[in-house]
Amino acid sequence: MRAGVSDLVLSPGARSQALALTAAAFARVGHLTVHVRIDERVAGFTALGLAVESGRPVAIVCTSGTAVANLHPAVLEAHHSGVPLIVLTADRPAELRGIGSNQTTVQTGIFGDIVRADWDIPAPIGAPGEADDARDLGALAVRASADGPVHLNLAYREPLSGLVVVPDDVVGGAVPAPPASTEPTVVDLRPNDATVVIAGHGAGARAEALAVAIGAPLVAEVSSGARFGRHAVVAYRDVLRGPHGEAVGRAIVFGHPTLSREVPQLLERSDVEVIVVRTPGVEVYNPGRRARVVDDVRVVGTPDPAVVRRWVGGWVSMSRAILESQAPDDPAPDLSLAVSDASGVRAAFAKAELAVLRAPIDRRMLARAAWASTWPHDRLVLAASRLIRVADALVPGKAITVHANRGLAGIDGTVSTATGIALAAARGEGSGTTRVLMGDLALLHDAGALLVPLPEGLRLHVFVGNDSGGTIFDDLEVAATANPDDFATVMRTPHRADFEALAAAGGWAYRRATTRAELDDALTAPEPLLLVEVPLDS
Ligand SMILES: Cc1ncc(C[n+]2csc(CCOP(=O)(O)OP(=O)(O)O)c2C)c(N)n1
Ligand SMILES: [Mg+2]
């Protein structure tokens, strides 16, 4: 707490008892919030969600052995997304390592280069100054975790714990700022009529601000945090493939784009000057290996309004035309007919309205409806299933908070991450609902996250588009030539999971939405913890 850590996620184990019981004692007097998870993989992703939503480092505690390895997926995602995690793993003391002791493996350096720092700390021996050293180490670890995960492997000797005494000088604190290393590189840019701003995952609002300041269209992925404003180009894939894309001479990149082929293709072009604004701690996105990498950009001068109208207006209106040419998922009945004097016309309106409400749900409708139901006080979490791509291709600009694990785009840990996000969001003023949009395999991968007791007052709604397997693979070229049965068995991996029973097992409410009306109902449902199954045809 003193160093700026307010959440700790732990899983039980004998070797880590001193850490767990100390954390519990700190939590009892309000210095820390402790979240307990049976499964270390779930614990790791819960910590990740807490950290991305709160912007603060989150500690994780687990015991020795395979427990540590179960944290690896979340630590990898944290590394690639620059999320602060402090991993505390308990271990045997030196004399018990390498002799076949129970539950003892090589934990030192287990995370390799993906942690910002790691320490192997010998078991305490009661020497003077040990407590001060431990405090200094804690502060050092918090500082080192500013832009990614750190690992402290802590040895404990019998007796593994003693009486916990909470010091009375614990006070809240801010996360200490990392010492500035070198002078940041800031490049001056003049507006022109050939610039595009690319906002990948985690780019943040500054990408939108730059697009406006420099007079450029904004290609903002759905989880970029920058998909809003008048410069946003929703149908960017098609626009990039057309004449506007060809006219690009300069691209300024924020965050980590992962959702299209067109963006990396643009950045590989030799006639495009690429400027990448670095995200601290995160590997530079540089598909063409030719980007100029900077810490920030500054706009010199103001864009000519006529140029902005022509250049940005061209992108935005082409995007709009493309979206309008696509079949709407819910052709709205003509509202003026509802107030017609003629009863026949009114009846026709009612019929048309009913047809919309009874229309079966497809992926586009689900993505659009979830987006439309998300407001600034809500959170939307997108799994690495097809739905994130569908949403990316069609949802309009809107300043809302969207999360997705795009560091490695794993389908693991999405529900766990969302619980962490919901827990952190619930502390805010007037916090809303955290909604998750995911495929069935992504949910089954993290089914354990539904079995966790969650505090009262948390609003977490999981929407699972169930097409019985990973239909994302149907878009692979090999799907056309592979043996269909083999393809289904080893790629799509169908299942017969009973989601209603799964929800019941964890004490979640369950709904099934098969029509637009049922979906709309589910999107405004009062249940605190809700699993909504949306059967999808393909
Ligand atoms: C941990 C992990 N394992 C495997 C994959 C590869 N993968 C990507 S998408 C996918 C299938 C997703 O299925 P589902 O969630 O049902 O979504 P759908 O494709 O049906 O929309 C898999 C297995 C991955 N990204 N992460
Ligand atoms: Mg699926």
pLDDT digits (tens, 9 = 90+) for 486-529: 999 999 999 999 999 999 999 999 999 999 999 999 999 999 99
* C-alpha 110 to ligand 2 mean position (Å): 33
Q: Is 441 in the pocket of ligand 1 (CB under 6 A)?
A: yes
Other Cβ atoms closer than 10 A to 506: 17
Other Cβ atoms closer than 10 A to 20: 22
Q: What is the pTM of this model?
A: 0.93
Mean pLDDT, residues 450-463 taken together = 95
Can you tell me whether residue 519 is helix, strand or coil?
Answer: helix
* C-alpha 441 to ligand 1 mean position (Å): 6
pLDDT category, 332, cuts 50, 70, 90?
low
Q: What is the pLDDT of residue 202?
A: 95
**Ligand 1 probe mutation, 72, 412, 462, 472, most atoms within 8 A of CB:** 472
**Ligand 1 probe mutation, 48, 70, 411, most atoms within 8 A of CB:** 411
Q: Is 472 in the pocket of ligand 1 (CB under 6 A)?
A: yes
CA atoms within 13 A on the CB side of 129: 1
Predicted confidence (pLDDT) per residue in 426-436, tens digit: 987 778 999 99
Q: Is the pLDDT confidence value at 160 over 90?
A: no
**Which residue has the least CA distance to atom 10 on ligand 1?**
470
Q: Is 439 in the pocket of ligand 1 (CB under 6 A)?
A: yes
- Residue 166's identity, in one-letter code, is V
Predicted confidence (pLDDT) per residue in 19-73, tens digit: 999 999 999 999 999 999 999 999 999 999 999 999 999 999 999 999 999 999 9
Residue 373, CA distances (Å) to 61, 209, 229, 342, 517 in order: 36, 25, 18, 34, 14
Helix (H) / strand (E) containing 367: helix 363-372
Q: Is the pLDDT confidence value at 171 over 60?
A: no
Q: What is the pLDDT of residue 349?
A: 79
Q: What is the pLDDT of residue 352?
A: 78
Extended beta strands in 226-337, E state: 250-254, 273-277, 292-294, 296-299
Query: What is the Cα–Cα distance from 187 to 190, expressed in whole angstroms?
Result: 10
**Ligand 1 probe mutation, 363, 381, 385, 534, most atoms within 8 A of CB:** 385
* C-alpha 381 to ligand 2 mean position (Å): 16
Helix (H) / strand (E) containing 438: strand 434-439
The ligand that comes nearest to the alpha carbon of residue 443 is: 1
* C-alpha 471 to ligand 2 mean position (Å): 5
Query: What is the Cα–Cα distance from 85 to 417, expressed in whole angstroms?
Result: 13
* C-alpha 465 to ligand 2 mean position (Å): 7
**Residue with the larger pLDDT of the pair 259 and 103:** 259
Rounded to 5°, the CA angle 384-42-155 comes to 130
Mean pLDDT, residues 162-179 taken together = 65
**Which residue has the least CA distance to atom 9 on ligand 1?**
385
What token pair was written down for 182? 């070198």
Query: What is the Cα–Cα distance from 381 to 223, expressed in whole angstroms?
Result: 9
3-class secondary structure per residue, 31-77: CCEEEECCCHHHHHHHHHHHHHHHCCCEEEEECCCHHHHCCHHHHHH
The ligand that comes nearest to the alpha carbon of residue 467 is: 2
